[in-house]
Structure 1
Amino acid sequence: MTTETPMNKTTDTATPVTPPPTTPLVPLPHPAARALTVAGSALALIGTFLAWTWTKEFPGNLTVTGYPGGLQVLTLVGALLTLLFTLSGYDIPGLRWLTPGGKNSPVLLSALGVLATTGYAMGAISYELGGAVNLEPGAWVSGIGALAAVIGALGLPTDQPHDPGDPHPHHWVNLWFRLRHALSSPEPGRAKDLPAWAEILIITGGFGAGLFIFAYGIRTEYSEAFIGFLIIAAFGFSAVNRAGLLKRLSALTAKHRNVTLAAAFVAAICFPFTQSNDQFALIGANILIFATVALGLNVVVGLAGLLDLGYVAFLGVGAYAAALVSGSPQSTIGVQFPFWAAVLTGALASLIFGVVIGAPTLRLRGDYLAIVTLGFGEIFRITMNNLNGRSGPDVTNGSNGVPNIPDLELFGFNFGVPHNVLGTELTRSGNYYLLMLLFTAVVVMVFRRSAESRIGRAWVAIREDETAATAMGINSFRLKLLAFALGACLAGLAGTVQAHVSYSVTPEQYQFAGSVPPNSAFLLAAVILGGMGTISGPLIGAALLYLIPAKLQFMAEYQLLLFGIALMLLMRFRPEGLVADRRKQLEFHETGQLDVPEDKPLPEGATGVAKAGA
């Protein structure tokens, strides 16, 4: 029997009182936020034409009014980029193409880059000159303008759907939400098909801009300017990527692949002709050596999925083999091979060592293989150190190595002598840069052909699931050994040039980890940083990891600490690397392709399992 409760009956239970809703800070209206961003960017740009300090003791001569210099140029470029991205939000004809992937996230990223660069410049001036009193009005104008641009950019709506856990979507105070979604991968819409000549011009312009940025970074003559360059380049790259421009360029390069390779090769050839200092060309040559070895390691790690922690030993094998047969007075062999024979000797020696080391060890997997390869790298260095005539046969002169390696000569062209090419003097470093560029082109061709072949697809299958690949009939051991041997051969090829560029080879150059690349840890990091399994990824990663220590030598004591912090940030925000293929993007990011909206009915015949998203 059911008893009904009278409607007017009172109870002792206290009625819960709903607290009044908290009033969040009111975000700026979108037109006002965009106007503030435009005004702040313009103010930061105008400040670069005013003096930032009163003395020339700070590098870059920031005392001139009307002519930006040093760090002022970086702020000017960032402010101009922010201004263009912001104006594209007004749908101005001619600027709409700037933001196909999102109109507001690029504005926030570029504005943050301007604020970070300007703030760093003001802090560096105050630290080196003894206080903020040394700042002239131009610095304050740019700093206030950069801060206003960031505040305005935070007031713009997000390009991504809001976080379900955020009670105030699009709220400008939620900085973490805004930054996290600003760094996410863009999805630009379908672009109009342009004429072939226009697409080729866009590709050429893109590589020309890349060459200019790379050359500018190498030409920076003092650490303050290089640190500012890194800051604005990082934020600028993120902004351009978030705008969708890089994806548009990638689509064009994939469509015109041969034109892309030719444009990249021509841009790289022009680099030594843009350098007035031989030291900068030498950095470029060493970057190519480092990048070529990283690309060879990409065959082993990126395609076949074999974790090799002693890969730098193959570079050492090629370098030692070429040094011993190149006619050095300290060589214990006492022979002098021509250039082509020395190159083949170094590549063949590394290939043989790759087979000898890989044959008994490649039946291991994962961490066990990594430990074995790490041991091989240390064994090589210790062996080269002990072949000194006392601990072992006199072959490598022990810790003294093989010095005084003569310069290469090919068809009467001596690489150690400056040459006049098209009215420009090409120095020794420029000669070796062009030679190494030729070797890099060969390695790129080998990598590309291997990745697109049946063998390359088999390597990818082994990397994804070796057990499944073996069950499908793939001989995993033979193909892993082939990848190991090919990677070792490519490293030995680069080692032959490295021996002549550096004049000598010593065991200490080939360690697992050290303050000076190349070493095994930095090579592996270059592949992961750039993007495993791609061509341009290891090249970009190697360039960054070699260029940064070379330009910031005063931070050598903290290099590994900063290197570890950079890797943690990369793994958090972009685990697929700077340049990643579609497979890696789908692997590291949730796409939601299989999700079924709960507010829509299932198709006829579907089950609840499908709705859960298998």
Structure 2
Amino acid sequence: MTTNTTPTNTALLPLPTPAARAATATGAAIALAGTFLAWTWTAEFPGNLTVTGYPGGLQVLTLISAALTLLLTLSGYGIKGLHWLTPGGANSPVRLASLGTLGTTGFTIGAISAKLGGIVNLEPGAWISATGALIAVTASLGLPHDQELPHTTRPTPLNRFLNSLRAPTPQRAKELPSWAEILIIAAAFGVALHVFTYGIDTEYAELFIGYIICVAFAFTALTRAGLIARITHLTAKHRNVTLAAALIAAFCFPFTQQNEEYALIGANILIFATVALGLNVVVGLAGLLDLGYVAFLGVGAYAAALVSGSPLSPVGVQFPFWAAVLTGAAASLVFGVVIGAPTLRLRGDYLAIVTLGFGEIFRLTVNALNGVSGPDLTNGSQGIPSIPDLNLFGFDFGISHDIAGFTLGRSANYYLLMLVFTAAVVLVFRRSGESRIGRAWVAIREDETAATAMGINAFRLKLLAFALGATLAGLAGTVQAHVSYTVTPEQYQFAGSVPPNSAFLLAAVILGGMGTLSGPLVGAALLYLIPAKLQFMQDYQLFLFGLALMLLMRFRPEGLVADRRKQLEFHENDQLDVPAEDTPPTRKTAGTTKAGA
């Protein structure tokens, strides 16, 4: 009789150790329950953590992390209605979510102790949540690793009960109707808008740090669970719907803000993100390392400031806004061609050094055009102040407006204007990347010698990418000049404490994901929002910035939002030639089986 040692594929996903999973769920439930109790006896710690029955401040973040841990733990049983959270049936998301709960709770306890003077200021609710989070983390370590899930499980009474709640997990995700997929995309962007708005609305540094810890672990857990990949597949399938949903979510942001400061952060994030997307054309698509890109932003801003009617402008003219926009874009385009034509025959580090020199030359030149060291054109270090607010078709951007019951202030007005520019830049980037020219840029980036051998005019296409990137930066600079009221040389450095600058722009592209559409937008939002919220760490900003880049290059060199090519390039050694569960028996195993028969 022949013994078949090949595992069958008809069984449901295996149940990991029931005791470990039950303990993890219990710990998460305890941590969640502790958020409804007081964590401190005094209201001196921000967030009012003294109320029983109503979580506030950092308690809300612990509640969210504990709830996510509980849901991921229960979804591992395949319970109907929850199995969609972990389509891959993995256990690592449970560990990550439980670590997020412990991290958020531990940080809150540490912040309370540091601010109020010791752990004596903690109430029982904090200890209950910390104990529950510690139980959840410890128990989750007892769950089998993702690659070591057994194919069979001992049929204990608990397993038989849970099997009655399980929903069969298909080998392939079930196809949904198009309307359902569109609703999922809309819901995903709604959640993203809420999460982003919550981060901007954080009123104190402790809450923002807890927010970063919670979001980082939650996003990583959902990524490991496969849920983010499923949503990404839907967005790639419905690209036009995805772009429309993203624009609608971004349009709704200023209507959620009552604080002008937070709306201004949103407007500056859009400016930073738009410039980063323009740099992505140069670096991400064409593979040209540009370390002086912020100078093109400065050229557009100065050109618009000179012709926008500032009383201190040496030019003394006032163009309508559309003409000022064209002036800024044209000036950046000219500078892009003038700088790129003699330098783009260089490659690699040599090109980076030349572009870095151009950025410094621009800053020193506008600083010298003060009427003393040179012609009086830019007022030197004083810059061009008092740039008037825009007035388009009777709509004054400098005053508040009531629209549908919502009050939009000056910052919200400029945010919506910048959103229009961002949409235009996104359209240009998308069309360029998908065109014949975009494919030629990618070929040059991968191997310029091979691309030239195939008949591609590398110099002309690189100059086109350089000029297009400069033009997009100039467009953003025209709006930045009006948002900030003034332009000065110190705003356009290679590296500084306040973005945008060339170093942060390049980091935004690398952090988000080179060559992708949404990557630079995500990277720019993170790199602008974190310094804006953690101003007390300004002296250590560059140190933390360098540390973050080191960790990113070590653990995710392809960026937060990476395309398939980059993932395969950086993780080719991690790919399995044949999945383990589909590996046929070896010749030795087959021979042994035959002999046993």
Measure the CA separation in 1 of the matches of 2:76 and 2:225.
12
Matches within 5 A, 1:580-595: 580-590=562-572, 591-592=574-575
Which of 192, 208, 222 pairs up with 1:226? 208
> What is the CA–CA distance in structure 1 between the aligned matches of 2:119 and 2:227, rounded to whole Å?
39
CA distance in 2, matches of 1:261, 1:205: 14
Equivalences for residues 61-76 of structure 1 within 5 A: 61-76=48-63
Equivalent in the alignment of 2:69: 82
Specify the alignment match of 2:545 in structure 1: 563
Aligned mates of 1:339, 1:412 — CA distance in 2: 12
Change (3 A) 1:94 1:598: closer
SS at match of 2:402: strand
Residue 364 of structure 1 corresponds to: 346
Deviation, 1:592, is 3.7
How big is each residue's C-alpha offset from its partner over 1:310-365, in whole Å with a ceiling of 9 and x where there is no partner? 00000000000000000000000000000100000001100110000000000000
* Helix, strand or coil at the partner of 1:160: helix
Listed as ranges, the matches of 1:167-566 within 5 Å are: 190-566=172-548
Q: What is residue 57 of structure 1 aligned with on the other side? A: 44
Alpha-carbon distance in 2 for matches of 1:80, 1:262: 31
From 61, 78, 84, the counterpart of 1:91: 78
Whether the 8 Å CA contact 1:85–1:103 is kept in 2: the answer is no
Give distance in 1, aligned partners of 2:265 and 2:487.
18
- Partner deviation per Cα, 1:518-539 (whole Å, 9 max, x = no partner): 0000000000000000111000
| Contact 1:102 1:242 (C-alpha < 8 Å) held by counterparts | no
Instruction: Please state how far the C-alpha of 1:256 moved relative to its aligned partner.
Output: 1.1
**Following TM superposition, by how much is the alpha carbon of 1:411 offset from its aligned partner in structure 2, in angstroms?**
1.1
Secondary structure of the residue that 1:425 maps to in structure 2? strand
- 1:122-174 CA-to-partner distances (Å, cap 9, x unmatched) read 00000110000000000000001001000111111111359xxxxxxxxxxxx
Does the 8 Å CA contact 2:293/2:502 hold for their aligned counterparts? yes
- The answer to whether residue 94 in structure 2 is matched with residue 112 in structure 1 is no
Structure 2 contact 40–121 (Cα < 8 Å) conserved = yes
How far apart, in 2, do the equivalents of 1:405 and 1:576 lie?
41
Q: Please, which of 1, 22, 25 is the counterpart of residue 35 of structure 1?
A: 22
Give distance in 1, aligned partners of 2:482 and 2:100.
Answer: 41
Pairs aligned (count)? 549
Distance 2:244 2:196 in 1: 18
The residue aligned with 1:13 is none
Q: CA deviation at 1:481?
A: 0.2
Q: Give the alignment's TM-score, normalised by structure 2.
A: 0.90
Of structures 1 and 2, the one with the larger relative CO (CA 8 A, separation 6+) is: 2
TM-score by length of 1: 0.88
**Alpha-carbon separation, structure 1, partners of 2:249 and 2:232:** 17
| Cα deviation, residue 196, structure 1 | 1.0
User: 1:436 touches 1:497 (CA, 8 Å); kept in 2?
Assistant: yes
Asked if structure 1 preserves the Cα contact closer than 8 Å seen for 2:16 and 2:144, the reply is no
- Distance in 1, Cα, partners of 2:16 & 2:314: 78
Change over 3 Å in CA distance of 1:254–1:29 after alignment to 2: closer
SS of the residue aligned with 1:487? helix
Counterpart residue type for residue 37 of structure 2: L
* Mapped partners of 1:432, 1:190: distance in 2: 46
What is the deviation of 1:282? Answer: 0.4
Asked if structure 2 preserves the Cα contact closer than 8 Å seen for 1:88 and 1:103, the reply is no
Q: Which amino acid aligns with 2:392?
A: L
Counterpart residue type for residue 82 of structure 2: L
User: For the Cα contact (< 8 Å) 1:29–1:155, is it kept in 2?
Assistant: no
Equivalent residues of 1:300, 1:306 under 8 A apart: yes
CA RMSD after TM alignment? 1.5
Q: Which amino acid in structure 1 is aligned with residue 244 of structure 2? A: A
Deviation at 1:105, TM superposition (A): 0.9
1:557 partner amino acid: D
Deviations 1:485-533 (A, max 9, x none): 0000000000000000000000000000000000000000000000000
SS at match of 2:50: coil
8 Å CA contact retained: 2:76, 2:89: no
Deviations 1:543-571 (A, max 9, x none): 00000000000000011111111111111
The CA deviation at 1:288 is: 0.1
Deviation at 1:595? 7.4
Q: Classify 1:161/1:29 alpha carbon distance in 2 versus 1 (closer, same or farther; 3 Å).
A: closer
Q: Which amino acid aligns with 2:569?
A: E
One-letter code aligned to 2:488: T
Q: Give identity over the alignment, percent.
A: 78
For residues 454-496 of structure 1, the C-alpha deviation after alignment (integer angstroms, 9 at most, x for no partner) is 0000000000000000000000000000000000000000000
In the alignment, residue 395 of structure 2 is paired with which amino acid? Answer: F
Alpha-carbon distance between aligned partners in 1 of 2:322 and 2:586, rounded to the nearest angstrom: 68
Deviation sequence 1:97-126 (CA, Å, 0-9, x none) = 110134311101110001000000000000
- Counterparts of 1:215 and 1:343, CA distance in 2: 30
SS of the residue corresponding to residue 143 of structure 2 reads: coil
SS at match of 1:420: strand
For 1:604, the equivalent position in structure 2 comes to none
Within 1, Cα distance between the matches of 2:172 and 2:204?
Answer: 43
> Does the residue aligned with 2:560 lie in a helix, a strand or coil?
coil
Which of residues 31, 39, 46 in structure 2 aligns to 1:44? Answer: 31
Instruction: Tell me the secondary structure at the aligned position of residue 146 of structure 2.
Output: coil
- Pair 1:154 & 2:141 matched: yes
Task: Give the aligned residue type for 1:248.
Answer: R
Structure 1: distance between partners of 2:584 and 2:76? 34
Q: Which runs of 5+ in 2 are unaligned?
A: 1-14, 150-169, 588-597
Secondary structure (helix, strand or coil) at the match of 1:473 reads: coil
Letter of the aligned partner of 2:35 in structure 1? T
Structure 2 equivalent of residue 126 of structure 1: 113
- Alpha-carbon distance between aligned partners in 1 of 2:145 and 2:438, rounded to the nearest angstrom: 41
Moved over 2 A (4+): 590-601
